[in-house]
Amino acid sequence: MKKLVGLVLLSVLSFTMVFAQSGQVEIFSWWTGGGEEAALLATIADFEELYPNIKVINATVAGGAGTNAKAVLKTRMLGGNPPDTFQVHAGWELTDTYVLPGLMEPLTDALVLWGVYDKFPSGLIDIVSYEGEVYSIPLTIHRSNVIFYNKKLFNEIGLTKEPETWEEFIATLDKAKSAGYIPLAMGDKEKWEAGQIVENLMVAEFGAEDYNELFNGSLSFNDKRIDNSLQKMVQLMDYVNVDHAALAWQDAARLLYDDKAVFNLMGDWAEGYFKELGWTPGEDFGWFELPGTQDVFVLVSDTFGLPKKAPNRQNALIFLEYLASARAQEIFNPIKGSIPARIDADPGNDPYLIQTAEDFRTLAISPSIVHGSAAPEAFVTSFNDAVNNLVTTKNVARAKQMILWAAEDVGLLTD
């Protein structure tokens, strides 16, 4: 009966919306550059064409790859001054920070009313849900276990085959190094970039099933495979650019575009960045999965939620319904370098995105640590600190101990 009443109220609300399509709606994100900003602006332009009487307030906060925006958002949310809706990664980043403190409205009934609940994969719905209620609308699907490469340099140094094993990957890095190029471009100015490499090394060591069990409390972090992952990260540090700590992820990706580096392990938002620079997928740059993770899709999903006390709640619901549409997802994602979260939306003609959409439908899914899907924020911060310590000192034992402390602090298994 409670669900029925909820649907009736939403139906009344939707009817009201027809006559309330005016005013403004504030959307909050950290999309301020590259393909991310271009995708956002294109989507806003389309929304305002559909709803000319609703003015979108594009509230973005630059810097820190979202770190600065998250700090501002938390201050606003805790201070009772929320935006109407905001960008947040699927999983614990939303649940731990805003759902558990009771600051968000559930959106399950809205998804059912809009007829889109079953348009999203059930596994993704589970990630954006807490105690049976959906709390955010998935807009993008990114894959973070991808290695992009400069095809011109790849061919120039005599490589003819993308590596499929760790040994082959190290051999290709050696070849790039011998040729005088930066083998592996890295920019870990914000720490998460190096953490992302380690989480992918963990996926390669554990496999999707065991990696996922680390975060559902079924498997202990006190496992030799953690040591192996950290040791491989130390090995990779022999191939990265010496100024990595001063660069952001875009700076590192740019090293490929400028013909200075051959490989870059990055989430596929880099694909959108390369296209923004003028590169053509499959012609100017290629890609392959980190060896050992070919059967896994390491997931990062951008979603939007509805805060309680949203100043323009009705317009926020209109905007969220728009984001849940195939139309919005097909506009936004090809520009950003991601694929639609809806399974019935067209990923576009980009060969990378077509392949990624197929992989998303068929491969095992593992949530990203550093992008807030796998574990609470406290663990993510400590994990990135541990990897930063590893990158600086190459002390595997110390980094593992820091990860064990982080796991213990949030109730994950360490025995």
User: Do 384 and 192 touch, CB atoms closer than 8 A?
Assistant: yes
User: What would the two tokens of residue 87 be?
Assistant: 């960008």
For the sheet containing 140-143, what is the strand order? 339-340, 140-143, 296-300, 364-367
Percentage with pLDDT > 70 across the chain: 94
What are the backbone dihedrals phi and psi of residue 141, each rounded to the nearest 5 degrees, phi first? -125, 120
Question: Checking DSSP bridges between strand 339-340 and strand 129-130, what pairing results, if any?
Answer: unpaired
Q: Which amino acid is at 153?
A: L
Average confidence (pLDDT) over 355-373 = 93
Indicate the SS3 state at residue 315: helix
Alpha carbon 32 to chain centroid, angstroms: 16
Q: How many degrees, rounded to 5, is the angle at CA 281 between CA 277 and CA 284?
A: 70
Tracing tokens 């939007």 back to the chain, one arrives at: 304
Reply yes or no on whether the pLDDT at 19 is more than 80.
no
Reply yes or no on whether the pLDDT at 147 is more than 50.
yes
- List CB contacts of 16: < 8 A, sequence separation 6 or more: 314
Q: In whole angstroms, what is the distance from residue 337 CA to residue 244 CA?
A: 24
Would you state the pLDDT for residue 21? Answer: 73
226 DSSP β-pair partners: none
User: What would the two tokens of residue 193 be?
Assistant: 């970039």
Reply yes or no on whether the pLDDT at 20 is more than 70.
no
Reply yes or no on whether the pLDDT at 6 is more than 60.
no
299 DSSP β-pair partners: 143, 367
Reply yes or no on whether the pLDDT at 12 is more than 70.
no
User: What would the two tokens of residue 67 be?
Assistant: 């770190």
Would you state the pLDDT for residue 251? Answer: 96
DSSP H or E segment with residue 123? helix 122-127
Would you state the pLDDT for residue 64? Answer: 60
Q: How many degrees, rounded to 5, is the angle at CA 227 between CA 226 and CA 229?
A: 65
User: What would the two tokens of residue 26 be?
Assistant: 């504030």
Reply yes or no on whether the pLDDT at 18 is more than 60.
no
Q: In whole angstroms, what is the distance from residue 240 CA to residue 173 CA?
A: 10
DSSP H or E segment with residue 266? strand 261-266
Q: Dump pLDDT digits (tens) for 213-256.
A: 999 999 999 999 999 999 999 999 999 999 999 999 999 999 99
What is the C-alpha radius of gyration for the chain, rounded to an integer number of angstroms? Answer: 21
What are the backbone dihedrals phi and psi of residue 296, each rounded to the nearest 5 degrees, phi first? -125, 140
Tracing tokens 């059912």 back to the chain, one arrives at: 112
User: Do 336 and 268 touch, CB atoms closer than 8 A?
Assistant: no
Indicate the SS3 state at residue 365: strand
Q: Dump pLDDT digits (tens) for 165-214.
A: 999 999 999 999 999 999 999 999 999 999 999 999 999 999 999 999 99
Reply yes or no on whether the pLDDT at 338 is more than 70.
yes
User: What would the two tokens of residue 367 be?
Assistant: 């949530």
Would you state the pLDDT for residue 15? Answer: 42
